Amino acid sequence: MGALVPDVALRGADRAIWVDAKYKAHLSLLAQQGWRRLTEDVRNAHRADLHQALAYANLAAVDHVDTVLAYPDFSTSEEHPLFAIATMASGRRRVRLMLAGIPFGFRSPDHREKTLSAWRIALTT
C-alpha cells in the first residue's frame, strides 16, 4: 500500500465518515464460520483491514469518526445486511468501526429499501 486513502470520505464540521470497499468474503465468512474456524490467512488479511480502518480514524481531528469497511454481502436472503459495529471512546472523541455488508445488486425493490434503511440507521446512530 503506497498511501492511506479510503474509497469515500464524507466530512462535516464535527464528523467524518470513511468508507473503504473490500472485495473479499471476510464478513460473510465471519458470519457463517466465526473467527476460530477461519484460516490463518483470512484472519491475517482481516486484521490488516482492521488496522487500516483504525488508521483512517486518525485522518480527521473531529469528535465523531465512523470508519466503514464495506464487504460484499453474498447472502441469498432479503433480510437486513450484515453489520458489526464497535465503538471506542478516547476523551471527547468517539470512533466507530463498522464492518458492513452490501449486495452487488438488489433482488427486489423491498430488498433495496431494507438495505438502504439499515445503512441509514447505522450511519445516523
Closest C-alpha among 82, 76, 84, 68 to residue 106: 76
Q: Round the average pLDDT of the chain to a whole number and report it.
A: 86
The whole-number average pLDDT for the span 2-6 is 76
pLDDT band with cut points at 50, 70 and 90 for residue 2: low
pLDDT score recorded for residue 76: 67
DSSP-derived secondary structure letter, 35: G
Place of cell 464540521: 13
**At residue 31, does pLDDT exceed 90?**
no
Record the cell numbers describing residue 77, joined without a space: 436472503
pLDDT score recorded for residue 78: 66
In this structure, the number of other CB atoms found within 10 A of the CB of residue 117 comes to 12
DSSP-derived secondary structure letter, 48: H
The whole-number average pLDDT for the span 91-102 is 89
Q: Which residues pair with 10 in a beta bridge?
A: 17
pLDDT score recorded for residue 70: 92
Query: Can you give the three-state secondary structure of 47-93, one letter per residue?
Result: HHHHHHHHHHHHHCCCCEEEEEEEEECCCCCCCCCCEEEEEEEECCE
DSSP-derived secondary structure letter, 57: G
List pLDDT tens digits, range 37-74: 888 998 999 899 999 998 988 888 899 999 999 988 87
